[in-house]
Structures are given as structure tokens and as C-alpha cells.
Copies of this chain bind each other. A is one copy, B any other.
């Protein structure tokens, strides 16, 4: 991974950088996600090695932090690699969506992973009931939850296998735990390489390598300017990164959108996921000429490993586009990214940076996700929020339970 910040951080921020680094280093003893690159994965590997060969589909019942990370990695690798089993996600209570996915699944060739940290997620348990009622055989199900949750107790009574989340790893930071690793490993993803990629980023940052300055400067810049630049865009130049941007939206939005610890002011930087070149024809105009409230990070793939050339045909009346002839698509897409960066640099008041990942493989995405987790922790520390909770989503859940209780009473 190569990173370049196209904005200046004043040198007077060296003091902040040192104290910020030391706060984050301290956090590694209490927050669990930092340790994930070094975890023991033998329980997962053994489970996958002994897994039923006749199973062709893995279906995750999970929502938010229980699905977005695995989905991001699976959708990133799928078009470029030959993976084994297919991976499906039930993450909505929309009946049309549930029916649409079920239509594609032969239940006898499908294994269901029920993933819920708390163990009582309404969406996940609703869909589980729907699938479990006609197919109550324990062999179809494996559970991932916190040790001791009600779902853990249920799975124990059912006699199904249960995996536990490690301590102090929140849902949105759990992609490199069993939550992400189990479904991915079952589908043939090289989870050792995923962790290897994350470990490289971890070592570079904590070992004060090239990511040390880059990450600290970027987080200081974002935090210092978060009132003006209250939106942060990822503009990724590959369709394979579409679900990565959705994972980033949860990570960033849910971690940083908070009341400040000391002031109780509402703060946050809004995450926006964009895919190039498509969104050059959609969102770019707004970045270029709209309100100066957006920072933009471009993500490029260095090597697509896909030799596909625009053929040297001349189309009558369209000769001006012969400049495209013989250009490989992978070169064109990166030239498009560079052209947009240059055009935005000319404006001088839009904070830009660039991340180049090496290729479409496990190391790259593992590293990229760990990079974003570190960045989120750093910015959260600086804007003085609790990066790891999400108290704002509880009120809606309580109202829903009241509504369900009221309905229940009316009907029975």
C-alpha cells in the first residue's frame, strides 16, 4: 500500500502527533481489534478443513457489523479469483429481498451462519425463525455470538457449533475476527493472507514505518478541519471496492457520529462511498463546484492483472477517439483517476489524498481495512468521542419493541 497526502499539516502539529500516537498505543491494551492480526486461527481452519463437501452455499444471517465486512471482502475478491462456495447475505426484513435470496438456495446444499454479537438482533432472529421453523435440524446452522448471550445458550441446547467473538471487539471492527474470517474461509478465501496484509499495516504504523506519518498527519488534518470539511469521500477506482465503501460508511459514521465526551456537542464527519469512473458522471460535479465541505480519498489498484485492450478500430466520424486505441482498460481507468485528481488539485481548497493498493488479493484488502480502522480510531481520539459505542441507535429499538408489544396485545 502506497499513500500520498496532497495537503499540508503544519509542523507545529508534531506535539499533537506524539501524544496522539501514545494514546492509541495505550488503547491497544483495552480495545480488542488491534490484536486481531496476531490471533490464533486454528479453530477456524480446523472447522473449515472438516466441513461437509456437499455444501455449496454459505448464507450469513447478520446485519451491520455482522455482514458488511465479509461482504466487502467477498465482493472484492469474487470477480478476480476462483473462490469455492458461494456466499449469501440475509441482512434485510424486506420480504421481497428474503424471498429473492431463498429462491437461489437449495437448503440441503446450504449452511447458515447466524451472526449476532448481542444475540438478540431483531432482523437476524426474525429471518432465523423463518428458516429454522421448516428446517429445524441443527446440522444446517453454526452460530457466532458473544459468550454467554441468549443465542449462545440456545445454540448450546440445539447442539450446534458456536464460535465466540473475542473480547472488546465491536461489530464494526470485527471483520478480521471470526465474524468475517469464518464465512470467508468457508468460501475459499485465504484468511492467513488477509491477516498478513493487516499485520503489515499494523507493523508499519506502530513500528513508525511509512504509515506512521501518513496516518497521523491525515487524522490530525481531518480532526482539525472537521467543522468545515464535514464530509469525507472515498472515491475508489474499481467496481470491486463497492462493498468496501459500504463497510467504510458504517465504520466511519457509527464510530465518529457522536456527542463529544466532554462537551456533549454533536460532531461527526459524514462518510460517502463513490466508485470511479461511474461517479465522475454523478457526484464529481458536486465535489468540483459545490460547497467546500468535502475531503476526498482516491483509491487505485496498481495492478489489475487483467490484460484487456481497447482494440485499434477506427469508427467513421468518431476518429477523434482513436486516442483510445490499444490502451489497456486497466491503464485507462487509472488515467481517469489521475485526471480527476489533477482537475481537483487545481481548485486548491479541496483536501485530497491517494491510496494505491497493489492488486486484487487478500493482502491488499486486509491491509486497507486495517488502515481504515486505525484512521477511525485516530480521528475519534482527536475529536473527543467514544469511538467504540453507538448509543444513538437504542431509542428506535425500544420504540419498535413497544410497537411489537402493543400489536401482540391487540391480536391475541
Chain B residue numbers with a CB within 8 Å of A98 are 308, 329
A18 within 8 A of B: no
Is there contact, CB below 8 Å, between A288 and B392?
Answer: yes
In whole angstroms, how far apart are the Cα atoms of A404 and B239 in the complex? 22
In whole angstroms, how far apart are the Cα atoms of A137 and B213 in the complex? 56
A288-B395, A327-B407 known; A317+B268 contact, CB < 8 A: no
A31 smallest CB distance to B (angstroms): 18
In whole angstroms, how far apart are the Cα atoms of A304 and B98 in the complex? 12
Is there contact, CB below 8 Å, between A270 and B294?
Answer: yes
A402 smallest CB distance to B (angstroms): 8
A321 touches which of B122, B291, B330 (Cβ 8 Å): B122
Chain B residue numbers with a CB within 8 Å of A332 are 93, 122, 126
- What does the 1/0 interface line of A72-86 toward B look like (CB < 8 Å)? 000000011000000
A28 within 8 A of B: no
A399 smallest CB distance to B (angstroms): 4
A339-B399, A346-B395, A392-B288 known; A92+B278 contact, CB < 8 A: yes
A150 smallest CB distance to B (angstroms): 4
Stretch of A1-9, A61-69, A203-211 with 4 or more beta carbons under 8 angstroms from chain B: A61-69
A214 within 8 A of B: no
A26 smallest CB distance to B (angstroms): 25
A267-B290, A327-B404 known; A304+B231 contact, CB < 8 A: no
A338's nearest neighbour on chain B, judged by CB, is: B403
- What does the 1/0 interface line of A289-330 toward B look like (CB < 8 Å)? 111111000000000101010110101111011011111111
Residues of A at under 8 Å CB distance from B?
63-65, 68, 79-80, 91-100, 119-120, 122-123, 125-126, 128-130, 132-134, 150-151, 153-154, 157, 171, 230-231, 237-240, 246, 249-250, 253-254, 256-259, 266-268, 270-272, 275, 277-278, 280-294, 304, 306, 308, 310-311, 313, 315-318, 320-321, 323-333, 335-336, 338-340, 342-343, 346, 360, 390-393, 395-397, 399-401, 403-405, 407-408, 411
